[in-house]
Chains A and B, each alone.
Chain A
């Protein structure tokens, strides 16, 4: 899924117009210039996390959770600018981590990975179901 397709799907499900969303989203603070400039690029998981987190903050007005609960993600600190985005969507159960160890727990977010359309659509559904105060993460299986 491209960045543009993800944003279009988010607009459709949220009931907001897609026309002009790049400029509007940047003014509202939940989209970046790069989302428009590189709109045809495949959506990475870290960018999906950023868009979802900033949409939560700026549009849905949902406050951040303490991110320490996401420290179990082994690659959380690999990304200084997106660590909080990842933590928030993980802790709210919007995006899942991947457990890549067969006989134990090695939770990995896979920042630069990409998800298929079905999973990205599910991410948007979960995002739009968040209510202020929700904060318990339930892993719903590997994406």
Chain B
């Protein structure tokens, strides 16, 4: 392996991210089900999975939409046998096909897990890289309905457990200047697009894409940078380009260079390494075609995104070629390569951050979650990013995935769990339960949260519009776009629904009671108007029917202002507003 594959299909290119999908995709609402990871970590077994299937049926969670039963990491034998994946013979002695048959016999759907790298995150040496065709044929034979694909041990990026020096594929070298037609153009005078690259001393560095795994960077706006030179040519023709660069193999400075003029790519490969990140050298001639006049010559590296998309696309392609099954494709690269830009081309959902908890459970241990925290491992860490990503999601695109539910884990109370459920439903997130369902009985507090039909109806509303944050008490000018990590605030989210109703969610993210501001129909419609089914009807209604989606209480009002009074710490209120003409 000397580097990632050439990319011949323009649909995998950065310039095409906003355009056509790679595969025929039917409109699909967020997946719902149970995944083994948060409940049992690597300790899931056939016996435990069977118990979960039986509990899903007993609790009638399938009737609410929880139909996928997904085996996460830890279920495979740790190395291939005759080139194939097999189950861990102690944990899953009957094998995966038998497990799938059991799940299907109960009217549920069966999901599995793999990884685009050489190993799974648990270390098992059965990553799908190089085995896409074999594994996908086996998955089809096992009758899977869902696949979650992780990103550990990935060869072409500095992903978890991968060689940190793989960053050389993800960033362009530092650029000092270019020379074309005998004219030298300094990099520091060229245009830097996006927000990732920056001038350092006499050169430009960090030409590439932000790593979105940690909660450090906003997902909104351009997440990649290019360096664009306006190159003047007195005539049309082929010219020699020389790039003065210094390479590295760390986040921000790499060794992979892409050169384009307009949208046509002329160079897309590793350049020779330099002694260090500031030991500049001149590249061999790169031939580019210029037209007479001004040409936009782009120095860039979009391979962090393109390689990852390519790896996921290979799996999807092999699944489609192996058989005609309707399979939900869940991208789990932790937001690392800004999948909100490209995930729609291949997947049905894409994780937006690293995990929501690192303290998963095991049989007899609930695991632990948190309401807030500095890293990704809390409910609000995930929410704070997902809540400004609504424009990336949709029925024909796919869904932002702020990770699986942590309801029922230790460390969070029922108020937090209820707000967590409401947030995920307002944001059209996949709803994957992550607890030992043997602890749940119909009518208990956990059941009432996960089985709140009114909230689930929002998540599964056929209009498929993720709620927009229309107001926040945190001072900012664009509540729907600003990445806010200070939880001392109230957020108000509005979600247009297929029948013309609008759901409003009031969320107190802070750890103390707060007064909740009110919002008017004008404010709601100004922010959601384009997606509201019947804006005029909603605006001009004589009165409104309001349903509290926690208590079921209904009332009617002629007021065009909606509020929630006071909210206790971490509490929330969600109402469904029906205009009455």
Chain A residues close to B by CB (< 8 Å): 23, 26-27, 29, 32-34, 37-38, 47, 54, 57-58, 63-64, 66-68, 71, 77-81, 83-84, 87
User: How many Å lie between the Cα of A68 and that of B375 in the bound state?
Assistant: 11
With a cutoff of 8 Å between Cβ atoms, the chain A residues found around residue B152 in the complex are 80
The answer, yes or no, to whether B355 is at the interface (CB within 8 Å) is yes
Which 10 A-B residue pairings sit nearest by Cβ, starting from the closest? Answer: A34-B78, A83-B358, A26-B90, A84-B359, A81-B121, A33-B78, A29-B43, A33-B88, A37-B78, A80-B355
Within 8 A of A (CB), among B72-98: 73-74, 77-79, 88-91
Shortest beta-carbon distance from A141 to chain B in Å? 27
The answer, yes or no, to whether B161 is at the interface (CB within 8 Å) is yes
Across the interface, do B90 and A27 meet the contact criterion of CB distance under 8 Å? yes
With a cutoff of 8 Å between Cβ atoms, the chain B residues found around residue A33 in the complex are 77-78, 88-91, 124
User: How many Å lie between the Cα of A24 and that of B318 in the bound state?
Assistant: 38
| Sample of 19 more A-B contacts, CB < 8 Å, known A32-B74, A33-B90, A77-B354 | A23-B90, A32-B122, A33-B78, A33-B88, A34-B78, A34-B122, A37-B77, A64-B368, A67-B358, A67-B359, A77-B375, A78-B161, A80-B152, A80-B354, A80-B355, A80-B358, A84-B358, A84-B359, A84-B360
Across the interface, do A29 and B123 meet the contact criterion of CB distance under 8 Å? no
Within 8 A of A (CB), among B83-117: 88-91
Across the interface, do B160 and A80 meet the contact criterion of CB distance under 8 Å? yes
With a cutoff of 8 Å between Cβ atoms, the chain B residues found around residue A32 in the complex are 42, 74, 78, 122
With a cutoff of 8 Å between Cβ atoms, the chain B residues found around residue A64 in the complex are 359, 365, 368
The answer, yes or no, to whether B233 is at the interface (CB within 8 Å) is no
Across the interface, do B365 and A57 meet the contact criterion of CB distance under 8 Å? yes
Shortest beta-carbon distance from B10 to chain A in Å? 34
- 8 Å CB contact of A66 from B79, B91, B160, B411: B411
User: How many Å lie between the Cα of A54 and that of B362 in the bound state?
Assistant: 10
User: How many Å lie between the Cα of A2 and that of B388 in the bound state?
Assistant: 48
The answer, yes or no, to whether B374 is at the interface (CB within 8 Å) is yes
User: How many Å lie between the Cα of A80 and that of B357 in the bound state?
Assistant: 9
Shortest beta-carbon distance from B358 to chain A in Å? 4
Find the residue from B161, B358, B370, B373 having the highest chain A CB count within 10 A.
B358
Chain B, interface residues (CB within 8 Å), range: 35 or more
The answer, yes or no, to whether B488 is at the interface (CB within 8 Å) is no
With a cutoff of 8 Å between Cβ atoms, the chain B residues found around residue A27 in the complex are 90
With a cutoff of 8 Å between Cβ atoms, the chain A residues found around residue B411 in the complex are 66
Find the residue from A23, A33, A63, A64 having the highest chain B CB count within 10 A.
A33
User: How many Å lie between the Cα of A26 and that of B355 in the bound state?
Assistant: 26
Shortest beta-carbon distance from A83 to chain B in Å? 4
With a cutoff of 8 Å between Cβ atoms, the chain B residues found around residue A38 in the complex are 78
Looking at chain B's contact residues, the main secondary structure is loop
Chain B residues close to A by CB (< 8 Å): 41-43, 73-74, 77-79, 88-91, 121-124, 152, 160-161, 214, 354-355, 358-360, 362-363, 365, 368, 370, 373-376, 411
10 pairs from A and B in contact (CB 8 Å cutoff): A23-B90, A32-B74, A37-B77, A38-B78, A54-B362, A57-B365, A68-B370, A81-B73, A84-B358, A87-B359
Across the interface, do A29 and B363 meet the contact criterion of CB distance under 8 Å? yes
Find the residue from A54, A63, A77, A78 having the highest chain B CB count within 10 A.
A77
With a cutoff of 8 Å between Cβ atoms, the chain A residues found around residue B363 in the complex are 29
With a cutoff of 8 Å between Cβ atoms, the chain B residues found around residue A29 in the complex are 43, 362-363
Shortest beta-carbon distance from B443 to chain A in Å? 28
Across the interface, do A79 and B161 meet the contact criterion of CB distance under 8 Å? yes
Shortest beta-carbon distance from B160 to chain A in Å? 6
Shortest beta-carbon distance from A117 to chain B in Å? 23
Across the interface, do A71 and B90 meet the contact criterion of CB distance under 8 Å? no
- A47 nearest in chain B by CB position: B123
- B41 nearest in chain A by CB position: A81
Shortest beta-carbon distance from A49 to chain B in Å? 13
- A111 nearest in chain B by CB position: B161
With a cutoff of 8 Å between Cβ atoms, the chain B residues found around residue A37 in the complex are 77-79
User: How many Å lie between the Cα of A123 and that of B88 in the bound state?
Assistant: 29
With a cutoff of 8 Å between Cβ atoms, the chain A residues found around residue B73 in the complex are 81
Shortest beta-carbon distance from B412 to chain A in Å? 12
Shortest beta-carbon distance from B168 to chain A in Å? 19
Shortest beta-carbon distance from B314 to chain A in Å? 23
User: How many Å lie between the Cα of A26 and that of B122 in the bound state?
Assistant: 15
User: How many Å lie between the Cα of A67 and that of B79 in the bound state?
Assistant: 31
Across the interface, do A34 and B90 meet the contact criterion of CB distance under 8 Å? no
User: How many Å lie between the Cα of A80 and that of B123 in the bound state?
Assistant: 11
With a cutoff of 8 Å between Cβ atoms, the chain A residues found around residue B355 in the complex are 80
With a cutoff of 8 Å between Cβ atoms, the chain A residues found around residue B41 in the complex are 81
User: How many Å lie between the Cα of A80 and that of B358 in the bound state?
Assistant: 6
With a cutoff of 8 Å between Cβ atoms, the chain B residues found around residue A68 in the complex are 370, 373
With a cutoff of 8 Å between Cβ atoms, the chain B residues found around residue A47 in the complex are 123
Task: Known A26-B90, A71-B375, A81-B73; judge A34-B358 contact (CB<8 A).
Answer: no
User: How many Å lie between the Cα of A57 and that of B121 in the bound state?
Assistant: 21
Shortest beta-carbon distance from A119 to chain B in Å? 22
- B76 nearest in chain A by CB position: A33
- B355 nearest in chain A by CB position: A80
- B410 nearest in chain A by CB position: A64
Shortest beta-carbon distance from B107 to chain A in Å? 30
User: How many Å lie between the Cα of A38 and that of B123 in the bound state?
Assistant: 11
Shortest beta-carbon distance from A60 to chain B in Å? 13
User: How many Å lie between the Cα of A16 and that of B122 in the bound state?
Assistant: 27
Shortest beta-carbon distance from B383 to chain A in Å? 19
With a cutoff of 8 Å between Cβ atoms, the chain A residues found around residue B358 in the complex are 67, 77, 80, 83-84, 87
Shortest beta-carbon distance from B148 to chain A in Å? 13
Task: Known A64-B365, A66-B368, A67-B358; judge A79-B79 contact (CB<8 A).
Answer: no
Shortest beta-carbon distance from B203 to chain A in Å? 28
User: How many Å lie between the Cα of A87 and that of B357 in the bound state?
Assistant: 13
Shortest beta-carbon distance from A11 to chain B in Å? 18
- B214 nearest in chain A by CB position: A77
With a cutoff of 8 Å between Cβ atoms, the chain B residues found around residue A26 in the complex are 88, 90-91
Task: Known A23-B90, A33-B90; judge A71-B374 contact (CB<8 A).
Answer: yes
User: How many Å lie between the Cα of A34 and that of B375 in the bound state?
Assistant: 30
- A38 nearest in chain B by CB position: B78
- A112 nearest in chain B by CB position: B161
